[in-house]
Amino acid sequence: MELSAFLLLALLTGLLLLLARGHPKTYGRLPPGPHPLPFLGNLLQMDRSGLLKSFLRFREKYGDVFTVYLGPRPVVMLCGLKAIREALVDQAETFSGRGKIAIVEPVFQGYGVVFANGERWKTLRRFSLATMRDFGMGKRSVEERIQEEAQCLVEELWKTQGALQDPTLFFHSMTANIICSIVFGKRFGYRDPEFLRLLDLFYQSFMLISSFSSQVFELFHRFLKYFPGTHRQVYKNLQEISRFIDRIVEKHRETLDPSSPQDFIDAYLIRMDKEKADPRSEFHQRNLIYTALSLFFAGTETTSTTLRYGFLLLLKYPHIKERIHKEIDQVIGPHRLPSLDDRAKMPYTDAVIHEIQRFGDLIPIGLPHMVTRDTSFRGYIIPKGTEVFPILHSALNDPHYFEKPEVFNPDRFLDANGALKKNEAFIPFSIGKRICLGEGIARMELFLFFIIILQNFSVASPMAPEDIDLTPQENGVGKLPPVYQISFLARREC
C-alpha cells in the first residue's frame, strides 16, 4: 500500500477516535511541547522531510528538553550535549532503559543485548563485553584480524584494475567478516553466495528501517501493522538472518569442545549448559540468536556506512585525501603494514576520521532510551516507562562546540601544534550505560581500514568534486550516504 494511503487511513481513523478518546492521557508533569491531537499526536505539526527536522524545529520553540507525541505515546526529546549528559551520565541508571523501535520490535521483542531491559540487559551486556574481549576486542588479536581482512580487501580492489565500483559490497564484506570471526569463529569469501545474500539483507533492512515510511510506521505502528508495508519486509529479512544464525549455532553444538571455546557462540553455549537447570537464566537460545543478530547487524552496518561516507568525502575534498597520503608516506611508507601504534603519529588522519564520524552523523536521533523509574529531570516529572530520544545530531552539530558544523573540516580536531584535540561533544557512539557495545572495535576498524586502503590506493570519481552531492539517501533511524561510483587506483605495483 502506498504511503499516502497509510497516512489517509491514519487520519481517518484518528478522526473517528477523536470523540471516543478525548485528549491524550497526561503523563506526569512532562516537559512542554507542541499540543497533541487524540490518536494523531503531533503528526500534523511534523515536517514532511522526516522526524529529525521536526524535532529540531520544535527545539527552537521549546528548548533543549521537550515532549513530542508520536501518535498516542509521549516521547521526551533531549537536545544538546548538556541535556544528554545530564540524563545519560548524571542519571545513568534511571535513563538506562531501552525504548522500542516499532519496525524491529516484532523481531526482537525485548530479547538480545541491544533491545533487552533490566537484569536481562545487564547480564547479556556483561557477558558480551567480557566474551568479545576474550576473543579479541581490545587486544592485539583483533588488530591482527583487521589487518588480515584489510589485506583481503586490497587484493579484491587490485582485481578491479581501477574500474568504477560501487564500494558498498566491499566495505560490507570487510566489516562483516570482523564480526563473523569473533561471533562465528570464521570469515567468508567475498563471493560466497550465502554471505552475499546475508549482506544484502542487512543493507536493505538498514535502508528500510531508516526510510520515511518507517518513520510514519513509528507513529502509527499499532494501526499500520495490519497493512502491507516496509515493516513486513524488514520482519521477513531479519527472520531470514535469524535462521542463518540458528543454523550456525546448531553446527557449533555439534563441534563444541567445552574446554576450548573458539568464539562468542561457543562461550555462550557453554554458559547455557552451566545454567540449564536455572529457570530464570537469561542464557537460552532466543537471547543467543538475537544477541548475535544485534552484534552482527550493528557491527556491519555502522562501520561500513561510515567508510562509505568517508570515501565519498575524500572524493569531494581531494586536498584532504592528498594530506592523508602524505602522512601515510611519511609515517608508514609503501610496504610496512600499518598498526594501531601508528595512530599517535598520524594526528591529521585521525582528525579526518573523527570529522567523518561527526559529519556523517550516522544515528542522528540516537537509539531510544526509557526511564526505569519515575524521575525528576530539570523540574519536570517523567514517569517510569516513558521513552527518551537523545538527539545525537544536536551534539555533533552544536555550533558552541563545532564552529560552522555544516562544513566538513578535519582541522577542528587539531590543536595549534597539530596534535589531535578532544571535543566533549563528539559522541557518535552515544554516552552512558547504553554506549555502543562495539565502540572499541569500531574505532580500530575505521583507523586500520582507512589507512591500509589509502596506503595502497588513491581514489577518483568520474564527477568533478564540486558536483558530488552529499545529500543522504535516507535519514531516519540511520543516515545513509547516497549511492556513488569510485575508482581505486593502485599507488604501487601489486
| pLDDT tens, the chain, 494 aa long | 444 444 444 444 444 444 334 444 445 599 999 999 988 899 888 887 788 999 999 999 999 999 999 988 999 999 999 999 999 999 999 999 999 999 999 999 999 999 999 999 999 999 999 998 877 654 558 899 999 999 999 999 999 999 999 999 999 999 999 999 999 988 999 999 999 999 999 999 999 999 988 988 988 888 889 999 999 999 999 999 999 999 999 999 999 999 999 899 999 999 999 999 999 999 999 999 999 999 988 888 889 999 999 999 999 999 999 999 999 999 999 989 999 999 999 999 999 999 999 999 999 999 999 999 999 999 999 999 999 999 999 999 999 999 999 999 999 999 999 999 999 999 999 999 999 988 989 999 999 999 999 999 999 999 999 999 999 988 888 899 999 999 999 987 65
Round to the nearest angstrom and report the end-to-end CA distance of the chain. Answer: 52
Q: How many CB atoms lie within 10 A of CB 122?
A: 14
What's 333's domain CATH number?
1.10.630.10
Non-local (6+) Cβ contacts of 127 within 8 A are 268, 271, 283
Residue 21: burial class (beta carbons within 10 Å; 0-12, 13-18, 19+): middle
Residue 467 is which amino acid? D
Nearest one of 340, 397, 339 to 365, comparing CA atoms: 397
**Number of residues written out for the chain:** 494
Residue pair 300/163 in contact by the 8 Å Cβ criterion: no
How high is the pLDDT of residue 40? 87
Residue span of the structural domain in which 169 resides: 29-490
Please indicate, yes or no, if residue 14 is contained in any of the structural domains. no
Tell me the CA distances in angstroms from 484 to 239, 343, 473, one per residue in order.
29, 29, 11
Q: How many CB atoms lie within 10 A of CB 490?
A: 15
Q: Are strands 73-79 and 65-70 parallel, antiparallel or unpaired?
A: antiparallel
Q: Are strands 97-98 and 369-370 parallel, antiparallel or unpaired?
A: antiparallel
DSSP 369: E
Q: Please count the structural domains in the chain.
A: 1
Cα–Cα distance, 224 to 90 (Å, whole number): 37
How high is the pLDDT of residue 342? 97
- As given in the structure block, the three cell numbers for residue 351 are 582528525
How high is the pLDDT of residue 28? 58
How high is the pLDDT of residue 137? 54
Please indicate, yes or no, if residue 285 is contained in any of the structural domains. yes
The residues that bridge with 29 in the sheet, in sequence order, are: 381
Check whether 152 is labelled as a binding-site residue.
no
pTM of whole model > 0.85?
Answer: yes
How high is the pLDDT of residue 22? 40
